[in-house]
Structure 1
Amino acid sequence: MRVDALTIQNEPLNPKNNPSMVMTAAEQAAFLRDHLGPAFAAARLPVKLLLYDHNADRIDYPLEVLANPAARRYAAGSAFHLYDGPISDLSKVHDAHPDKDLYFTEQWIGGPGDFAGELSWHMDNVIIGAPRNWCRTALEWNLAADPLYGPHTDKGGCDRCLGAVTLAGDAVTRNPAYYIVAHASKFVRPGSVRVASDNPEGLPNVAYRTPDGGYALLARNAGAEPRSFTVRQGGRSFAARLNPGAVGTFVWR
Structure 2
Amino acid sequence: MERFSRSIEGMVALVTGAGSGMGRATAILFAQEGALVAAADVNEEGLARTVAAIEAAGGTARGFVIDVGDPAAIDRGMADVLGWHDRLDIVVNNAGVSGFLPLEDDGYDANWERILRIDLSAHQRVIRKALPFLRKSSAPRVVNIASTEALGATAYDSAYCAAKAGVTGLTRALALEFGKEGITVNCICPGPIRTGMTDAVPEGDKELYARRRTALRRYGEPEEVAHVTLSLCLPAASFITGTVIPVDGGLMVRNA
State the TM-score, normalizing by the size of structure 2: 0.37
Higher relative contact order, structure no. (Cα contacts within 8 Å, ≥ 6 residues apart): 2
Whichever structure has more strand as a proportion of its residues is 1
Q: So what's the TM-score if we normalise by structure 1?
A: 0.37
